Structure 1
């Protein structure tokens, strides 16, 4: 008697789950309320899976022993509520995948810096000769990784939505980069619900596991005071000296684990800026734990290429530098981007607002931004927040128009920065699509 799984959502995590479930003898039914993209439909046809799109056939879904819900579907969706009322377990793809893998996991979550830290760790492990596969919220889904590849370690970027659906998922090394208000629309607009969700990454850890986190982050520190964790803590900080963990001393990163010290001048890091010093600390802590040679850690931290759509320098035209930071989907990420600007900036911002509060950006905008280009369907809040402090605010409805407007407003020596602080779903498929359209529009100037 084969077990039945129903999969809600035909994106990356849905398809990965279908591949893994089929491989493990499940009877699979995949259902998507929207339209499934052609490349995913082809996979479903190829592995001969029963699927539907643009509807949910409830009788087939309720017949399942377990339901995997894609991270994009909120817990409040009527179908999900009904399933839970009927006692059908609803889990996330990372939970399902973890049932079929003994490979130890390095799991990275946080409001910002996740992708950079994940990519930096994968890069260091590769340079250090450790066999690892990277996936999760970046590249291949965890389920696809488990189904199709064999590695000694898995390096996973994990979102709070994926953590919401775990039961037994347990990373050997958990990393929490920071917590700033994001996605509050999915957490009843309560920051504490979002914080609790992020901390699920450590809930199944034991004393044999490790927890690496930002000790300067107030939300994290406050939570840890009230909610002790079982794993071994390895904090990192720019502000204080840490006994076991990472800190800053005389412009050097220092990672000290059980009296083994690694040091590296911040000037040699491939990625500059305070937030990147923290990202490097988190990654170097993992490398130290896995006993990668110090020289190799230094090399990997200094030759890392960075992440696409994250402060990515695109082109210089007429001595104006165009920077793609499309991955900045919340205010805090944009804060880091503006903080790192060293010349006058024309800033392209906007999209789907997740309950943004722009107050923290005001001093930076005042100091660095000469013009704002809104790129979204509804820009009222942006205009209300910054209308009085910049010379020009313009509204645009396409990337091409936004980039041409930036070209007109920028002068020699300026930066043009796409750092939207918002989700992209009003005008684009996702932040990658938004970033690629920006790069293409810049190249076509």
Structure 2
């Protein structure tokens, strides 16, 4: 029984006992093991008034459709998402961010009074314990001739995240990782563990990846939130996500992240699961976050075909891919465009003629919704926060940009002819798109 199981088991065994009695019984042990000390620390951190609430929250999380019953032993662990239920429960007991986020999703409405449990990140507390656990796991991985990517797949597959396939490792290694790896340590001591861990095991420098220290990320987040009364719903983009460090300490519940490196996308999904659920899983627009009641419009929601906000792709192009359902095994991968450089991939242009020639009240409800979605994808972000890699564009990317530039010129020429035929003027939104694209192309092709 690993630490996470022991914490939950000890808590559940206390159903008929007060927290004070549980602590007294625990203190009868003369010399406690490290695990017993951690269990004491977790349980003693639960305020007396929260004890019954925590029990109710654990019951609620067990009823959620995404919950998966934990395995009783390793023989039941060879399945997608086998560790998700236990991870939900231990996170609920320690912090409760998933439960709070599920409640907001169920309501479809966010209010300032909604309680989002805090998460105090540290570069020091628990670092030694977590790093020791991770390195012990990697010693088993290397001994079997496997690599860090296999270990990452083991973690992500255990949580049932769609980016991860079942790792191709031996049953012997699987059993060792099952017994050694414990997410509870990472939850008890929140930090950006995977950035440094991956760098220590071969990821440093790949695709320009050099992680920003967590204290620097935290300082940037604090600066962005100064005098910001709406930091919870400030739409925030991190185009060079890495393992997600820049967004871990961000106050916003309206986050979007992307990276060109598949390994970093996977790592960021794991850390989002642990600490910032709203980055990993946002299935629908939420009033107060993505939908403005005052303006009666969707103004901070960008992708309607996927329930996740972590994308794989090149931010310079604005072209990405993402699983359609982030918690579904073998989920279909779809294309996502965030202000794509290629104008032909800007969905809003498909409806330009209709928008310019047909009164809004004459459009069908279905067409109005399609146009609304297309327009919402053209919205910018309140905040773009990143520490991108520096250096010259590679030849392949630069050639792609030049091809897009030529294709855009042809596209705009045909569009101008079509508008002249219809005898209509372009809508201001399209004129702004043209200016933005021209500026981005000049920056991309002229700077390097």
Higher relative CO (Cα under 8 Å, sequence separation at least 6) belongs to 2
Q: TM-score, normalised to structure 2's length? A: 0.26
Q: TM-score, normalised to structure 1's length? A: 0.26
Q: Which has the larger radius of gyration?
A: 2
Richer in helix (by share): 2
